[in-house]
Amino acid sequence: MVKIRDIELGEFPLLLAPMEDVSDPPFRALCKKHGADLMYTEFISSEGLIRDAIKSRQKLDIFDYEKPIGIQIFGGDEEAMAMSAKIVDATAPDLLDINFGCPVKKVVSKGAGAGVLKDVDLMVRLTQACIKSTSLPVTVKTRLGWDDSMINIMEVAERLQDIGVEALSIHGRTRSQMYKGEADWSYIAAVKNNPRIKIPIFGNGDIDSPEKAVEYKNRYGVDGIMVGRASIGYPWIFNEIKHFMATGEHLAVPGVKERVEAARDHLMMSVKWKGERLGVVEMKRHYTNYFKGIAHFKEYRTKLVTSFDLQEILDMLSYIEENSEEFVFSNPV
């Protein structure tokens, strides 16, 4: 049984990665429905939280059906991180996660996210500031290092564990790689196999199929796997991985009707949470993924992503559902 303090996650938990502009409550609800064991919010700016920025505050929204769930924050200032940890604590998630892995320039340039990998002493101070300011378990998501010449994940893991971090999720790329190239899980395995390391170690990067999840579980010996981009428009991946691990067999690929149902549920939850205008707009990024692989679907996809009328989109989804037999997958596997 993998545990983070008193949070029981099962024998080999599957985690939903925190993804900016993706891992909001509507998306998380679908991933929870389809088997995610632990989820995180989109990352939240510590500076935004203490300025009472509306977007940052909205990201604190969590719901009982999502539990266990962690709220993730980022920042490069100790005081701001400490104050943010207190705000998160009052929201009562199951844990607080710190992002030391985001590689995008606007985050790194502020000395936050993966930028902190260049200064492990600062990383330790920022983490200590959070730990001292909350009663929640504190976990960290990070990368292997800044670049190939500065892969310092072993030092990071040991020092974070020593100050009280209770789990570590490691993306198998450096900051300089961004999301390019292949994730190198050998470093993640080295951390897991370090006899000094006692906390759960979760691997992240390139998990896009049940076969790869089983292969990486067996090869690298991690305590669980974090799934990110592969879940976008395909929340079924969590239960597919679990079923394959248990039986060695594949679940049936979701058909057109199942994809319409998921897209419609996602849309309506987005509208309910964000309001009709924003819910419709922000849902547009998901349609391509929900209907990926369906032959001759361009016309319908174009209508879904260009319409701003909720009823028109719902009518289009209903049409696709009612005529599902007309749509075939170009690659049915």
DSSP conformational letter for 34: T
**What DSSP string runs through 201-221?**
EEEES---SHHHHHHHHHHH-
> Does the annotation flag 228 for ligand binding?
yes
In this structure, the chain runs to a length of 333
> Does the annotation flag 311 for ligand binding?
no
- Does the annotation mark 102 as catalytic? yes
Q: And the tokens for 32?
A: 């929870």
Q: Which helix (H) or strand (E) holds 329?
A: none
d(CA 18, CA 271): 21
d(CA 6, CA 14): 17
Please work out, in degrees rounded to the nearest 5, the angle formed at the alpha carbon of residue 116 by the alpha carbons of 112 and 119.
Answer: 145
> Does the annotation flag 34 for ligand binding?
no
> Does the annotation flag 266 for ligand binding?
no
Q: And the tokens for 264?
A: 């419609």
Quote the longest CA-to-CA distance of the chain: 59
Marked catalytic residue, from 29, 102, 160, 260: 102
Please count the other Cβ atoms lying within 10 Å of the Cβ belonging to residue 302. 11
Amino acid occupying residue 53 = A
Where do we find the tokens 């896009």?
208
> Does the annotation flag 72 for ligand binding?
yes
Burial grade of 232 (CB within 10 A; 0-12, 13-18, 19 or more): buried
- Give catalytic residue positions: 102
The annotation places the binding site for FMN at 72, 141, 171, 228-229
The annotation places the binding site at 72, 141, 171, 228-229
